[in-house]
Structure 1
Amino acid sequence: MQKYSVNQYLIETVLAWVKSGEIAIPEIQRPFVWDGSKVRDLMDSLYQGYPVGYVIAWKNPNVKLKDGTLSEGKKVLIDGQQRITALTAAILGQYVVNKNYKRVKIKIAFHPIEEKFEVQNSAILKDKTWLPDIAEAINGDLFEIADNYFELNPDVDKKQVRNAFSTLINIPKKQIGMIELAPDLDIETVTEIFIRINSKGVVLSQADFAMSKIASNTEYNGNELRKAIDYFCHLAIAPDYYRHIIDNDPIFAGTDLFQKMQWLKSETEDLYDPEYTDLIRVAFTSKFNRGKLSDLVSLLSGRNFETRTYEASIAENSFALLREGVLNFINETNYKRFIMIVKSAGFISPKLIRSQNVLNFAYILYLKLREQSENAVSIESYVRRWLVYSILTGRYSGSAESYFDYDIKQISERPFAEYLKEKEAGELSEAFWNSSLPQSLDTSVASSPYFLVFLAAQVKANDKGFLSKDISVCDLITHKGDIHHLFPKEYLKKNGLDRGKYNQIANYAFMQSEINIKVGSKSPKEYFELINTQMEEQNLQVTGISTKEDLRRNLDMNCVPYSIDNMSVQHYQDFLYARRRMMANKIREYYFSL
């Protein structure tokens, strides 16, 4: 089956399709990020007769309406938006929405004597040898424009200028290539075609397709929904952007969607700052009980999976359901309670969670359990435990979509407690805690998810930093404290150990810098002799800990074997082995306390 056709169209034909809506360019699917110089260069290429590449459009399938008639599908532009938007700006003189979501005009000037283009500026406006805006020339009366130009510039070569004017106004008669993808292709095939055709190797994700689909829909307010998704994500990172929306998008600012996200204007929490991909995935999966975004694209098109036809009622219902999902996501109570649950598990900083998909599914789980009217106490425990289970097993680090799809179906069809118990029995067995986890802690990567879970366990237990009397691990993480070596790095280097050996996470602990300085490059035996002497003399210089009992408690909470006080380099490997097992045990106790 031919998956696409390749055609050449006049630029004026493509622009007419844009004006009529035959080609849908979502307003903020991807903001116009070209600067004026790129628009200028595109005009120059067309003027010179150079090729400007292909655009890719995917025709929406024809949809069956309630009265049984078919609605002709529009073409959705999935690649080439910047070029087409540049043409509408320069040739039609239309506004574009820039990367700051401001409506602006990009005016391109033309010098007919030198036959060159430039972005309009104040100097050009004062120079009568320039046509200040080619849109006015292309859409105006050529004879009148020429007469005005010759009146201002009587000494120019009129034949040369007329030829330049003629070439300029014929730019819309130049051709642009369009690759039109068949309407019955599935999303995976469209993605594959896009990747193969696109010479830059840009990966267009299924979320991008979903966003295109949402943004190009006006019948069910998809364009408004797309703005809500985009603005929420922007506000989550930059709350002061709120004022910009009020000033520059008053229509959206008057919607109920905007009212629901106003709380973000004073929100500074950065633990979970979603991108649009995250928001759409959570909203979709939690409401549709599906994990594959390709299904969302199909459902928003009105696809009936049983009859393989497209029906307007399915599209309408899908947009309504997605809107519910988005509103649930951006709801202040939901969002803040979810963050509170994550923090209550010890994950107080984004530095402690490497996988955004772990947070995404934890939020999906929270929303789903609320929908199922699970009691609040159980929800907190289940979300905390699933979050940590997901990190420890690397559940969403590979084929995340497939696992999302599988997990949401299980959660929708049976009690979550039953499903969680099954996963724990299969993947968090005695062998995991006693063998697999200690082996996973055998790494030099400080951002290891297992080490981050260990730190979360310390935060939840309100543990103190290594050798600290009062300063907690939570304080050190929050206020940018440092991870230091229990067997000092310089000491191990001096004894011939390389980077991979001394930078072991079983040799890491959060430690106050002033304590680390006192420890210096001494062996543990040496610096513990100093600590013990100072405790006996109550001359506390290395640490504020003043009794052996307090010292042992500190070693316990940091999973440091007591025997460290008599260790030198020859004991290092035994130390690492012992501490890994202690760390694994702490993580285990922490997990089952959640």
Structure 2
Amino acid sequence: MAKAEATVEELVGMIERGELRLPEMQRQYVWQSTRVRDLIDSLYRGYPSGAILLWETDEAVPLREFGVSQQASPYQTTRLLLDGQQRLTSLSAVIRGEPVKVRHRKKPIDLLFNLEHPDELAFVTEVDEEADIDDDAPEQGEEDASEDELMARLNKRAFVVATKKLELLPNWVRVSDVFKSQGDTALLKAAGVSSMDDPRLEKYSARLARLRGVRRYVYRMDVLERTLGYDEVTEIFVRVNSLGAKLRSSDLALAQITAKWRNSLATFLAFQKACADKGFDLDLGIHLKNLVAFATGQSRFQTVAGLSLATLQAAWIDSVRGMEFALNFIRSNVGITSPALLSSPFILIALAFFGAKRDYNLTPEEAAKLRFWTLVSNLKGRFSRGSSETLLDQDLASLRQKGGVSEMIERLRLQVGRLDVTPEELEGRNQRSAIFKTMFLAFNDAGAKDWRSNLRISLDHWGTSHRLQFHHIFPKAVLKAADYSARDADDIANLSFISGKTNRQISDKSPDQYLQAFVQNAGQSAFDAQCIPTDHDLLRISSYREFLRERRKRVADRLNQFVEVGTHGQ
């Protein structure tokens, strides 16, 4: 294995010119903007940033697209990036000022640089590399801090993910603008430096030069020999990433599958996009796990290495039919129209396998029971209690052994106990609870509408005014002033679904001040649909605990009616 070195600027140029490509075995780009922020911060400090693993080959290797644009490669020899994709894609996007492409969408990586950062830089907490870029979160502490506290915290940092407020401040400049600019004049002028006598001139110029110096950061590269074959390189890729725990098991499985089934990635991505077009943008790993389930009857990726090409190809065809059934069933029969309403996508795999085992021929009774199993599994978080794969494998094993939906319901009962929901079960739950997702479904089924526009609540409303938000009936600020904790405020019984504009209109008013006006506008039924007590005495801050108890009773009743617990047993 040869050793080499290249600067960030040289590597970004190789990507842009198409000299450095991604093999089909690679995962998609997944880093959050906060992770890119931390990478730039580390390079700005001159910290180590690992090595790059390449393979130079004359072999015609199946490729996948980088997350950033590339020119067609004029070279016969291909340089393939095996390790370092997330770092180099991030650097290429920031330095070139281009968005990254993730799941058929383009997303900008907007970072700001603080020209007034302290000499002693504040450390930031790195986020999980496995987090998906679609899950970008606000800067740490942003939700709970006051504006002054947040600004004090951000001003200690050199880099942050861009916000509209910070962009307006003169000491914050776009990182991509620094890399693209030929000089400092425009940047310094925008920062308020208007003369050579300004004491900030030297400091700001030195910091801008230091940031541009990131382009000269040198990466060590390990280059695999040309004599190696694709299968052996795939084995190296799997071993390197397994030892470093840098990739998920689904990413390693993808490498093994594409090594046997060349050019299959395009097939997988096409189906992933077809599902996304129907409203279910699922991680590719779910489709691969579904493939493995249909190939082996169990869900663990460890078996992939032993599967033949013929087995993989046949199982993929069957798994696609199964997933199509699952998505149609969950949308039409259950009312779940988005993966955001699923407590676990493993529910879809169980549904797909069930449909296939029944040859997609269900009796009305089976369909009703399958809806019940789906809703209770979602409500109770079946695949969040213990090992998700073990629980899924139990369902798959039962279906392989000719078990039916009644056996699945009984297994669920053994796992969670009662299949109905009690008011006590809602205590201490918040918006991250599986119950919260089913609460939305139940309220929607009851005809819940926004209190101002009277639009039916939906996850896909257009426009910031109508986009759905969850609303604290007793606002956080009101509860904080009354010495309630953040946990008390986020209680699931204090949450409802309204539009962004309605939420902003309410602001931090107490419900005894704002609710009756909305009742007069929207009608009592709008509040009954979301199980919200409107008795004035319960809407006083002094009655908050009593309000929560009353609403928990109503929500539990509504959930049980929606799931139809009485029809299929308790």
TM-score, length-scaled by structure 1: 0.53
Corresponding residue of 2:65: 99
Displacement of 1:556 in angstroms is 2.7
Instruction: Tell me if the contact between 2:250 and 2:288 (Cα under 8 Å) persists in the aligned partners.
Output: yes
Displacement of 1:563 in angstroms is 3.2
Distance across 1 between alignment mates of 2:460 and 2:537: 24
Corresponding residue of 2:521: 544
CA 1:476 to 1:558, structure 2 compared with 1: closer, same or farther past 3 Å? farther
For residues 320-399 of structure 1, the aligned pairs below 5 Å read: 320-331=310-321, 335=324, 338-339=327-328, 341-342=330-331, 344-369=333-358, 371=359, 374-375=361-362, 377-378=364-365, 380-397=367-384, 398-399=386-387
Instruction: Tell me if the contact between 1:9 and 1:178 (Cα under 8 Å) persists in the aligned partners.
Output: no
Distance across 1 between alignment mates of 2:471 and 2:551: 15
* Residue in structure 2 matching 1:423, options 401, 408, 411: 411
Corresponding residue of 1:288: 296
TM-score, length-scaled by structure 2: 0.55
Per-residue Cα deviation, 1:6-32 (whole angstroms, up to 9, x for no partner): xx7999xxxxxxxxxxxxx99622289
Distance across 2 between alignment mates of 1:427 and 1:512: 37
Instruction: Tell me if the contact between 1:207 and 1:277 (Cα under 8 Å) persists in the aligned partners.
Output: yes
Q: Does 1:557 align with 2:547?
A: no
Specify the code of the residue in structure 1 equivalent to 2:63. Answer: V
* Residue in structure 1 matching 2:482, options 489, 495, 500: 495
* Residue in structure 2 matching 1:473, options 432, 437, 457: 457
Displacement of 1:177 in angstroms is 13
Secondary structure of the residue aligned to 2:521 is: coil
Displacement of 1:554 in angstroms is 3.5
Corresponding residue of 1:228: 267
Displacement of 1:564 in angstroms is 4.7
CA 1:98 to 1:289, structure 2 compared with 1: closer, same or farther past 3 Å? closer
* Residue in structure 2 matching 1:273, options 281, 285, 296: 281
Corresponding residue of 1:407: 395
Specify the code of the residue in structure 2 equivalent to 1:472. Answer: R
CA 1:591 to 1:30, structure 2 compared with 1: closer, same or farther past 3 Å? same
Secondary structure of the residue aligned to 2:54 is: helix
CA 1:214 to 1:577, structure 2 compared with 1: closer, same or farther past 3 Å? same
CA 1:435 to 1:390, structure 2 compared with 1: closer, same or farther past 3 Å? same
Specify the code of the residue in structure 1 equivalent to 2:560. Answer: R
CA 1:215 to 1:94, structure 2 compared with 1: closer, same or farther past 3 Å? closer
Distance across 2 between alignment mates of 1:284 and 1:400: 15
Displacement of 1:577 in angstroms is 2.1
CA 1:509 to 1:176, structure 2 compared with 1: closer, same or farther past 3 Å? same
Q: Does 1:212 align with 2:202?
A: no
Corresponding residue of 1:253: none
Secondary structure of the residue aligned to 1:447 is: coil
Distance across 2 between alignment mates of 1:378 and 1:322: 34
Specify the code of the residue in structure 2 equivalent to 1:229. Answer: F
Secondary structure of the residue aligned to 1:544 is: helix
Q: Which structure 1 segments of 5+ residues have no match?
A: 1-7, 12-24, 34-52, 55-79, 110-173, 238-267, 301-314, 532-540
CA 1:464 to 1:9, structure 2 compared with 1: closer, same or farther past 3 Å? closer
Q: Does 1:575 align with 2:547?
A: yes
Distance across 1 between alignment mates of 2:286 and 2:27: 19
Specify the code of the residue in structure 2 equivalent to 1:281. Answer: K
Q: Which has the higher helix share?
A: 1
Distance across 2 between alignment mates of 1:352 and 1:31: 26
Please say which of residues 381-390 and 93-102 is displaced more in the overlay.
93-102
Q: Does 1:202 align with 2:202?
A: no
Instruction: Tell me if the contact between 1:486 and 1:507 (Cα under 8 Å) persists in the aligned partners.
Output: yes
Q: Does 1:511 align with 2:481?
A: no
Specify the code of the residue in structure 2 equivalent to 1:202. Answer: K
Q: Does 1:484 align with 2:471?
A: yes
* Structure having the higher Rg: 1
Displacement of 1:460 in angstroms is 2.6
Distance across 2 between alignment mates of 1:569 and 1:207: 49
Specify the code of the residue in structure 1 equivalent to 2:301. Answer: L
Per-residue Cα deviation, 1:382-418 (whole angstroms, up to 9, x for no partner): 4433332332333323422222222101122133133
Corresponding residue of 2:12: none
Identity %: 17
Distance across 1 between alignment mates of 2:60 and 2:391: 45
Q: CA-atom RMSD, angstroms?
A: 4.5
Please say which of residues 569-578 and 374-383 is displaced more in the overlay.
374-383
Specify the code of the residue in structure 2 equivalent to 1:544. Answer: N
* Residue in structure 1 matching 2:24, options 19, 28, 51: 28
Specify the code of the residue in structure 2 equivalent to 1:269. Answer: K
CA 1:470 to 1:98, structure 2 compared with 1: closer, same or farther past 3 Å? closer
CA 1:104 to 1:452, structure 2 compared with 1: closer, same or farther past 3 Å? same
Specify the code of the residue in structure 2 equivalent to 1:97. Answer: L
CA 1:492 to 1:574, structure 2 compared with 1: closer, same or farther past 3 Å? same
Secondary structure of the residue aligned to 1:396 is: helix
Corresponding residue of 2:89: none
Corresponding residue of 1:462: 447
